Structure 1
Amino acid sequence: MSLARTLNRALTVTTGLQVRRAPRAAQGRTSAAPKAAARPAATYRCPSAEDLATDRLLRQPVFIISSIRSGSTLLRMMLGAHPRLHTLHELHLGRMDVICDNWHSEHAMGALGHARGDLEHLLWDRVMHRELVKSGKDFIVEKTPANAYMYRRLKDCWPDARFVFLLRHPESIARSWHESDPVKRPYDKAVTDVLRYMTAVEEARTADPDGFTVRYEDVTADPGREMRRLCAFLGVDYTPAMLNYGRKSGRELIRGLGDWRDHIRTGTVQPGRALPEEDEIPERLRAMCAAWGYTSDTASDATS
């Protein structure tokens, strides 16, 4: 009689229990790791005007707030051709974390008045300021579309930040997002995806009466006029180089594929696609079209 059987007989008599071998996991399969608990929202303080001198190196950063597929790459490249504006690739600041991994470091930072969010803000500020200094220019421009979801935090981090709200016809955004990968993103899913971005953009635009709104269709129709308006908002002189920003690298060509690939390939602004007809706009996008002024009248004006 095996040891296990003898042990089970004795356990059954004395306790009514038995020992069973744990089932083996299927060969080649690993058990799924438990999902990490969502981190609580970072707490931070908003620097006052007096604190800015010590808390921030960067002054008056510019953030382009837009949905995906709105032409932010084109606008970034045009602004980057200005001698005083340094534009970066998308930084995704909201995905950069600072972690105090024990009580001692957390307590030490707390004694300095820094919560986790404060440390993250110092990191963001240092990273962007470093790139600005390397460029030799005066102001930095950042255009990650996900910034639409963190407008309030960017404003709290840099109270003197300037915000440019880039709009595009909602159906054109959805169509462009769908066409970039039709298999992965059927049109209905593309509408759902971009509507989240557009809602965040509109909430930020409503919250910031001092921001500057520009439309992709206006940039492609009359780039000189729109760049003059934008330069006036940013307090810099207009330069014609913004309209002829030059040929970019192969990587830029790949990153810019989509409706504005001709802009990037030629280094000059090209006409945008025609706006959709009224009956091409899905019901879910009609409210956003109205909020952004894309009515049938404005559509006919933009394409004339």
Structure 2
Amino acid sequence: MPSDRPIFILGCPRSGTTMLQLMMHAHPRIAIPPETRFVTAAYQRRLRFGDLNDPARRRELADWIVGRRQSRFHELKLDAAKVTEEIVEGPPTLGSALGIVLRAYAARFGKPRWGDKRPAYFQSVDALLRLFPDAQFVHLIRDGRDCVASLKEMPWYDGSVYDAVSVWAEAIDFARYGAPGLPAGSYYELRYEDLTRDPETELRGLCAFLGEEFDPAVCEPSRMARVVPSWKSWHERTRGEVTTARSGSWKERLTRQEIALCESVLADRLKAYGYEPGGAPGAGRLQILAYEHTAARRRLARLKRVTADRLVRLREPNPPAALLTEGQVALAGGTRPRHEPPVPVT
């Protein structure tokens, strides 16, 4: 039986997740939208929406999703009124409401499988599993030095080089220590360098993990680049052919001090994923201390988020899990809701 499990793409920012999103979106059965901003935001605010057994509360939630510009719902090019009614008439859970939006995006392209892409999702896998308990996660990993170099050049990035190094370390630590504890069949990782060097081999493996037939279209993500909002100028390279040209470009894009920092504090992680050191001298003591201070600050912020979430769970008026797919319904011990909107054929 064809899979209907939702798919989530994650990884350190600037690791190639947009390219992978377009590759998956090119598959005839899968639709992954440009980065949205409503899934984790809604989860964090779930107490505000109240008891979703009340249709009026579901309407308030729907209005928040479709009307909040930060959610980027407008970039999905969906009928807001229609999506709102589907949420109001749908299962009374937060995951169902959010999944209905993603499902509607897939239906726009006549595809049955839906999901989302956001690099920072590696920080929220626990929450995503509570919302979508049958989810499959695809983690794209890239040389941390290239990620740091690319992050520094982004117009939207306002962090320090120490933050950039820290976020890559956090993504790798999730892969090494968090992912092994996920449900069987729910996690898959691949390297950017392998994906760009041999897209077909890597994507055949990914499709097998997802339970999908390989389709050659996934090797040509540039054909799908039109779905990326034009204002995201930093994704311009997705409009061209898949290339290895950017792999290893950190050698020209990072300073000697930055290379020394990366190779000093990320050495074990780089080695674990097959990234060879560049032979830089060790980072200075002040650099190491600055990095450790940044990493500690980020760990504390993460601990506060986790603690706050645990407290919110004690006050949840409804279980958050979606009831839209076969797996979700089976895990809930129920039956599939009857009001399933048809998937249009385009």
- TM class, shorter-chain normalised? 0.5 to 0.7
TM-score by length of structure 2 reads 0.56
Cα distance in 2, alignment partners of residues 254 and 181 from structure 1:
12
Deviation at 1:223, TM superposition (A): 0.9
**Aligned residue in 2 for 1:43:** none
Contact 2:196–2:242, Cα closer than 8 Å, also in 1:
yes
Aligned-pair identity in percent equals 25
Are residue 292 (structure 1) and residue 238 (structure 2) matched? no
Contact 1:87–1:142, Cα closer than 8 Å, also in 2:
yes
The structure having more radius of gyration, on CA atoms, is 1
Q: Secondary structure at the match of 2:266?
A: helix
**2:40 partner amino acid:** G
**Aligned residue in 1 for 2:164:** 190
Paired residues for 1:28-177 under 5 Å: 59-92=4-37, 93-96=39-42, 97-100=45-48, 106=51, 119-177=93-151
**Aligned residue in 2 for 1:215:** 191
Name the structure with the higher helix share: 2
Q: CA 1:108–1:257 in structure 2 vs 1: closer, same or farther (change >3 Å)? A: closer
Structure 1 gap ranges (5+): 1-57, 110-115, 298-304
Cα distance in 1, alignment partners of residues 198 and 228 from structure 2:
27
Contact 2:139–2:188, Cα closer than 8 Å, also in 1:
yes
Contact 1:76–1:141, Cα closer than 8 Å, also in 2:
no
Q: CA 1:251–1:168 in structure 2 vs 1: closer, same or farther (change >3 Å)? A: closer
Name which structure has the greater RCO, CA cutoff 8 Å, separation 6+.
2
**Aligned residue in 1 for 2:246:** 273
| Correspondent of 2:154 among 180, 187, 191 | 180
What per-residue deviation string (whole Å, max 9, x for no partner) do you get for residues 59-112 of structure 1? 3001112111110000011111111111111223101234557xxx65976xxx
Contact 2:199–2:219, Cα closer than 8 Å, also in 1:
yes
Structure 2 gap ranges (5+): 55-60, 62-91, 279-346
Larger deviation, residues 240-249 vs 225-234: 240-249
Cα distance in 1, alignment partners of residues 224 and 12 from structure 2:
25
Contact 1:100–1:106, Cα closer than 8 Å, also in 2:
no
Contact 1:167–1:213, Cα closer than 8 Å, also in 2:
yes
Q: CA 1:63–1:230 in structure 2 vs 1: closer, same or farther (change >3 Å)? A: same
Q: Secondary structure at the match of 1:282?
A: helix
What per-residue deviation string (whole Å, max 9, x for no partner) do you get for residues 160-199 of structure 1? 2111111111121111111225994443342234434443
**Aligned residue in 2 for 1:239:** 215
Cα distance in 1, alignment partners of residues 246 and 23 from structure 2:
19
Contact 1:151–1:204, Cα closer than 8 Å, also in 2:
no
Q: CA RMSD in A?
A: 3.3
What per-residue deviation string (whole Å, max 9, x for no partner) do you get for residues 108-158 of structure 1? 76xxxxxx9x84223222222222233211211311122111111222322
Q: CA 1:228–1:168 in structure 2 vs 1: closer, same or farther (change >3 Å)? A: same
**1:234 partner amino acid:** L
